[in-house]
């Protein structure tokens, strides 16, 4: 075992921060944030494309939210919406 590993092990045991491990974590988070930014830009472009094709973007976003839910949750929400609309005479 080399001195660096021994020092890092001792630092970990004593509660000191390992600079190498910390740098690795920070680098990974920064890389993922950049990827997230690029993906958000791609999604924005797709919505712009949908809008230019005549689709209603807020409705598309609502469809995406619904698709993430369990079918039973969607059914319950639709039932309540129907009930509330009926109560309001809509």
Residue 82 is encoded by which pair of tokens?
Answer: 């129907």
Q: CA triplet 42, 44, 45: central angle to 5 degrees?
A: 65
Segment 37-85, tens digit of pLDDT? 999 999 999 999 999 999 999 999 999 999 999 999 999 999 999 999 9
C-beta atoms surrounding 54 within 10 Å: 6
pLDDT tens-digit series, residues 2-18: 665 666 666 556 678 89
Q: What pLDDT score was predicted for residue 24?
A: 96
Inter-residue contact 50 to 57 (CB < 8 Å):
yes
CA–chain centroid gap for 3, Å, is 41
């Amino acid at each position: 075992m080399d001195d660096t590993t021994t020092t890092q092990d001792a630092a970990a045991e004593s509660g000191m921060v390992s600079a190498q491990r910390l740098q690795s974590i920070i680098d990974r988070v920064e890389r993922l944030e950049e990827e997230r930014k690029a993906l958000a830009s791609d999604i924005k472009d797709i919505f712009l494309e949908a809008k230019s094709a005549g689709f209603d973007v807020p409705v598309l976003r609502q469809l995406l939210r619904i698709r993430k839910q369990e079918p039973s949750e969607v059914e319950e929400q639709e039932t309540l919406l129907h009930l509330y609309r009926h109560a309001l005479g809509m």
